[in-house]
A and B are shown apart, each in its own frame.
Chain A
């Protein structure tokens, strides 16, 4: 196992003079991933072409999965990639394909609706309020913990042990969502008469 030559703990040690510590590396990784995530989210709500919006949404999901890896929640990161990029993004792409305007235009002609600025003002006010609360609260000073670790075996045992009822409820919910989505989107052949 790795030991620090001068006896510090893993987070604050510098193996050689001038080398970055683990904490600094995490900060750089956080900044890069945050840029990717924010860029993906911004482009997803601002772009005009719908398919480009979905592509930047995929970039956003990748950024969030990267954040989960940084926060040592490996299983959740893999689940995020599998479910969101593998299923939800493909679903949104299919929905875009099925709801294209038949005459060939790209959809609603103006990108933003009536009084588009009010939505932006509300969102900015919300962000300002939450940021002010976050900055003033002492819980935000909690530092990084190098012991945070999640093992898949523990999650598996918890899912069939302590958390078996939510697990089964989730299975029922997914079945209901599946049947519901199929029934809602089914061609209404009978009612056309």
Chain B
């Protein structure tokens, strides 16, 4: 981390150490923090998910293992680690073992460009958002390899469906991110977060409060949920669909790695969404002189946990989309909507009393949404016809 390196060099006690050692410290400390903090968030996300889903479904979630089930993630981890690792006899052992690893690595790499606070980002790449999309295409390979190496027809079908879903929803997601890049003028996540600072209470400049930003936020969140195969897009991994899709033949630690990769991808995408649309670390009090960065970190994690909670809430509330509706939704509704969003953002930028621009773009996007939802999704549910035995 660049700022950590500068701080270490300026601090008199550390400046006595050789330069190379300072460099390695400034690299290994963020890596250690990422590896410690985000999997811990993952572990407690699994617990929060089970408790929240339980409450939505009018039951209590796990509460046996610790008070309120706090030690449940440890119990789950211990269970998965001690399970027998079954590999099918005809499976390709090398690829079968490699697929879960390839599922986890892109998800961990995504955290390298998420700015947790002001100047607190592990790597400040000037191609930050492009890096995010390039790395998240790596997880597509893991899906395919997992399905192929299991030598199981159902795994293969599940893998094909999963790859088709992920690749289709990537396109509106990238186009929704393009709007933010246009507005901030840079691909770097740090620049995008900084461009949303200032304003009333550091809140009013967030991109989510502009019409194109709100539509972009919704599109990006839908794309992020489909990328990590969360309900309502969880055909690849739901138990009632095609056994368990691409991870049918995995048990024990490899299955735990697939879950880790999927949840970490969802958390990383929630972090990127918070950076791009919700202002990252900006919030009331984040520009104060000494305590500002700490307040910024608090605001970032608050936004991250709220987005994770929204994702869990949607999982508990909405039913699963059918596989034909899934593709139609992505290509016929979300993709044209994201293109219209780009036009709306350009109009907003050039139209000059800003309240007028706000109203014009809001009306335009609303009209586009109404037209697209009627035209693009004709598989609407017809009114139910009840037939009773007489």
Set of chain B residues within 8 Å of A74, measured between Cβ atoms = 125-127
Query: Which chain B residue has the least Cβ–Cβ distance from A82?
Result: B134
Question: Chain B nearest CB: distance from A102 CB in Å?
Answer: 13
Within 8 A of A (CB), among B146-183: 148-149, 156, 160, 163, 167
Cβ of A15 under 8 Å from chain B: yes
Query: Which chain B residue has the least Cβ–Cβ distance from A90?
Result: B140
Contact check, A16 vs B148: say whether CB atoms are below 8 A apart: no
Which of A48-56, A111-119, A121-129, A184-192 binds B? Answer: A48-56
Interface size on B, residues (CB 8 A): 30
A15 CA / B135 CA spacing, docked (Å)? 34
A20 CA / B118 CA spacing, docked (Å)? 32
Cβ of B239 under 8 Å from chain A: no
Q: Which secondary structure dominates chain B's binding surface?
A: helix
Question: Chain B nearest CB: distance from A27 CB in Å?
Answer: 17
Query: Which chain A residue has the least Cβ–Cβ distance from B170?
Result: A86
Cβ of B137 under 8 Å from chain A: yes
Q: Which secondary structure dominates chain A's binding surface?
A: helix
Set of chain A residues within 8 Å of B13, measured between Cβ atoms = none
A55 CA / B145 CA spacing, docked (Å)? 9
Set of chain A residues within 8 Å of B68, measured between Cβ atoms = none
A78 CA / B144 CA spacing, docked (Å)? 22
Q: Write the A57-78 contact mask toward B (1 if CB under 8 angstroms, else 0).
A: 0100000000000000011001
Out of B19, B134, B185, B186, name the residue touching A86 (CB < 8 Å): B134
Within 8 A of B (CB), among A145-164: 151-153
Q: List 23 A-B contacts (CB under 8 A).
A: A15-B19, A51-B95, A51-B145, A52-B94, A55-B145, A75-B127, A78-B127, A78-B131, A78-B134, A79-B130, A85-B134, A85-B138, A86-B138, A89-B141, A90-B141, A90-B144, A90-B167, A93-B141, A94-B163, A97-B160, A152-B126, A152-B127, A152-B130
The 7 closest A-B pairs by CB, nearest first: A86-B137, A81-B134, A82-B134, A78-B130, A78-B134, A15-B19, A78-B127
